[in-house]
Amino acid sequence: MTAPVAHEQRVAADLARKAALVAPAIVLVAGLLRGIDGAVSAAVALVLVAANFLVSAALIARAAPLGPTVIAGATMGGFVVRIAALIGAIVALRTQSWIDLPVLLVVLASTHVVLLFWEMRAVSLTAAYPGLRPDRGLRSTNEES
């Protein structure tokens, strides 16, 4: 018997991979427009975005074996805690001299939205292929050829 596939973790890993793909361009543009502080702020925002997606998937994966009620609680509770953590990170970082707050906020918000829309193209919501479509995203290490 094979272990169940954690589709949410595969989707989050694919989101993090896509964030890493666009990171050099985002950091470069932020650096050109706002200097070194803008580049650092964009990089920090991208790390926060990837971490947010990965933590979300980890919470759902841990809750999945426990039933739908626990999944719903973990999803909603996790959302509130993750948003509070992001706000806490922004509040803590805003006083740092090397943080360009407008860049941090714009990259943080826009990257969340853009990555989610980008990921919609790779996610399959069918019973045959839940999670990532077989022709898109990360390849599973358990797939046989």
- The answer to whether the CB of 42 falls within 8 A of the CB of 30 is yes
pLDDT in tens, 97-132: 999 999 999 999 999 999 888 887 777 666 555 565
Which range of residues forms the domain containing residue 14? 7-132
Q: Strand ranges (DSSP E) for the chain?
A: 123-125, 130-132
- The pTM of the full predicted model, rounded to 2 decimals, is 0.78
Is 145 part of a structural domain of the chain? no
pLDDT exceeds cutoff 50 at 10: yes
Report pLDDT for 48: 96
Is 13 part of a structural domain of the chain? yes
Q: How many domains does the chain have?
A: 1
Is 55 part of a structural domain of the chain? yes
Is 143 part of a structural domain of the chain? no
Report pLDDT for 35: 96
Is 139 part of a structural domain of the chain? no
pLDDT in tens, 25-62: 999 999 999 999 999 999 999 999 999 988 988 998 89
Which residue bears the tokens 């090397």? 98
Arithmetic mean of pLDDT over the chain: 85
Is 76 part of a structural domain of the chain? yes
Alpha helices in the chain (DSSP H): 7-63, 68-93, 101-120
Query: For the chain, what's the residue count?
Result: 145
Is 59 part of a structural domain of the chain? yes
Is 112 part of a structural domain of the chain? yes
Report pLDDT for 120: 79
